[in-house]
Amino acid sequence: MTAPAPGWLDGIARYLAAQVAGLAYRTDGTPYGVDETGISLWAIPASPDTCMVLTPYGGPAPDTKLGYNTPRLQARFRGPPGDPDTPAQLDVDVFDVLQGLGPVTLPGGVRLISCEALQADPGYLGQDGNRRHELTRNYQLEHRAITAHRQ
């Protein structure tokens, strides 16, 4: 069982699905179509072959009084067996949408202030046991996070 997705993570997934042709994000368990690339959260699924995974990880410590958080996000891409071009193109398509994004209100209502890649190019992870090439790129986001003691 995975932890519930933070609102900003779900919002990024929904935003990408709306902006990048062929990307789809579903939370109801409906299988992805042949011509779709499914977005998953947290962990890479066994199928479909072509997919994207968004995994959050810690960023800098939040300010105690200002209501902004700066989490980090790993975007991981996988393509069909023996095809390194598909995950590379997915990375480019997602980079084109995320790099410099903001300010914008994400689906679900989270106010994204900014998004920036932490590397100029994706990292190559190699092939999995099914000869599917995998790439990854990391991003840092800033979003509004007002709490009882932060404005």
Rounded CA separation 14/38 (Å):
11
Q: Is the pLDDT of residue 1 over 50?
A: no
pTM, entire model: 0.92
Which helix or strand (DSSP H or E) is residue 79 part of? strand 72-81
Distance CA 75, CA 98 (A): 11
CA distance 86 to 62: 37
Q: How far apart are CA 115 and CA 69, in angstroms?
A: 12
Interval 106-120: pLDDT, tens: 999 999 999 999 999
> Tens digit of pLDDT for each residue in 77-127?
999 999 999 999 999 999 999 999 999 999 999 999 999 999 999 999 999
- SS in 3 state form for 19-77? HCCCEEECCCCCCCCCCCEEEEECCCCCCCCCEEEEEEECCCCCCCCCCEECCEEEEEE
DSSP label at residue 102: -
Q: What type of residue sits at position 1?
A: M
- Predicted confidence at residue 150, as pLDDT, reads 87
